[in-house]
Amino acid sequence: MFIDDQEIGVTPVSTSFIYYGTRKIQLVKDGYETVTVLRTFKPPWYQWAGLDFITENLVRSEFRDERLVEFKLMPLRLKTNKELVDRGNQLRQRVRQGIVTTVPVQPRNLRTLYPQSRETIPVNRTPRRPR
């Protein structure tokens, strides 16, 4: 599970936060569709401007704000041969037109595990052999 592109753990999981607002939540599991949502968390009444001073300094009770977020993961749908061939033909047409498809950005922790190559290979040349 990732929150704001930071891995926080395997579900079920809990984490702390400091600021309210909109968070990007992403669930990734092998064999299932990746779920990415933007969820807005609004502050409770005791965190409203003005009241927060009273509740944090003058009230002797502890306030806990716990949020439960649930998602339903859908099994990964396998693509048919026709869908794969059609997608390949679309990509081939884009290359002929000079349109380049961007590579999706990996979450931060995967970048360190699997760094992207910095070497670029021209399209019409063979790669150089390492010395």
- Give the tokens for residue 48: 């409203």
What Å distances lie between residue 42 and 56, 62, 69, 104, 125, CA to CA? Answer: 18, 19, 14, 30, 55
User: Who has greater pLDDT, 27 or 99?
Assistant: 27
pLDDT grade, residue 106 (50/70/90)? Answer: low
Domain ranges of the chain: 2-113
Whether the per-residue pLDDT at 27 is higher than 90: the answer is yes
Give pLDDT tens digits for 30-83: 889 999 999 999 999 888 888 888 888 888 888 888 889 899 999 988 888 999
Scored b (16 or more CB within 10 A) or e, 49-81 reads eeeeeebeeeeeeeeeeeeeeeeeeeeeeeeee
Task: Flag whether the pTM goes above 0.75.
Answer: no
pLDDT at 7: 92
